[in-house]
């Protein structure tokens, strides 16, 4: 069953056409790896799929109106003046907070849980931001360069998590210059492509 369908998507900015006539669909439990060079429109395509950006033409349809989506883009959406625990309290209600705390321990952030997030390294902040994905129940996970800044152990953990999610019928769309170790179809953007 199709979760997301994109029909003849096109996007132009400042008279430069990034992509056009993109048509693809994503089923439940399927993954889509969007690839392409810098400036080819990968992040823009993600934002169009999420509804954050309007396409120049075409449309994106979801199989149900209240689709639960977890998204991690270039910005981490964490507050640097709060500690990791305070950030998690801000993101999650009490019901999901315990699960988030478990992930914080798994990712090795428990020893910095009371430090200001601004004092954490880039990789630690990325791990904290990824907890939003790990601890959320969603139909669709959208990730923009999720492996950047992660150490090898964390990358393996993320790959394993995404593989489990695909197996449990959660769909996945990601962009990554680092090849993910999961089974998914590929969509290549080359700056101005028909595919």
Partner 1 sequence: MILVLIAFPLSIDISQYDLNKFYFSVIVVSLLMISFLATESIFSEDYEDGSLEQIHLEEKDFYKITLAKILVHVFFIGIPMALIGSIFSFANGVSFAEVPKIFVTLSISTLILFNVFAFGSALSINKGSMLGVVASLPLALPAIVLLGRGVRSVQYGQGFFEVSVLMAGVALIVTALMPIIISATLKTHLE
Question: Closest approach of Cβ 75 to partner 1, in Å?
Answer: 3
Question: Closest approach of Cβ 53 to partner 1, in Å?
Answer: 5
Of residues 109 and 144, the one with the C-beta less far from partner 1 = 144
- Interaction site with partner 1 (CB under 8 A): 50-54, 69, 71, 73-80, 132
Both tokens assigned to 35: 């690839």
Of residues 118 and 188, the one with the C-beta less far from partner 1 = 118
Of residues 33 and 132, the one with the C-beta less far from partner 1 = 132
CA 15 to chain centre: 28
In the chain, what is the straight-line distance between the N-terminal and C-terminal CA atoms, in Å? 22
Of residues 54 and 190, the one with the C-beta less far from partner 1 = 54
Question: Closest approach of Cβ 183 to partner 1, in Å?
Answer: 26
Question: Closest approach of Cβ 179 to partner 1, in Å?
Answer: 25
Question: Closest approach of Cβ 47 to partner 1, in Å?
Answer: 8
Of residues 22 and 133, the one with the C-beta less far from partner 1 = 133
């Amino acid at each position: 069953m199709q979760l997301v369908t994109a029909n003849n998507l096109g996007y132009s900015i400042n008279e430069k056409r990034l992509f056009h006539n993109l048509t693809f669909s994503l089923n439940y439990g399927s993954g889509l790896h969007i690839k392409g060079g810098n400036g080819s429109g990968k992040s823009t395509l993600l934002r169009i799929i999420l509804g954050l950006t309007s396409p120049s033409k075409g449309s994106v349809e979801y199989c149900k109106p209240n689709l639960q989506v977890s998204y991690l883009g270039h910005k981490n959406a964490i507050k640097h003046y709060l500690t990791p625990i305070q950030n998690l309290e801000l993101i999650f209600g009490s019901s999901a907070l315990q699960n988030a705390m478990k992930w914080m321990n798994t990712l090795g952030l428990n020893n910095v849980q009371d430090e200001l997030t601004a004092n954490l390294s880039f990789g630690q902040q990325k791990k904290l931001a990824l907890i939003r994905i790990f601890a959320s129940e969603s139909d669709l996970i959208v990730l923009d360069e999720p492996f950047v800044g992660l150490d090898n152990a964390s990358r393996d953990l993320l790959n394993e998590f995404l593989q489990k999610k695909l197996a449990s019928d959660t769909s996945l769309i990601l962009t990554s210059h680092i090849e993910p170790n999961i089974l998914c179809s590929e969509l290549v953007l080359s700056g101005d492509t028909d595919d």
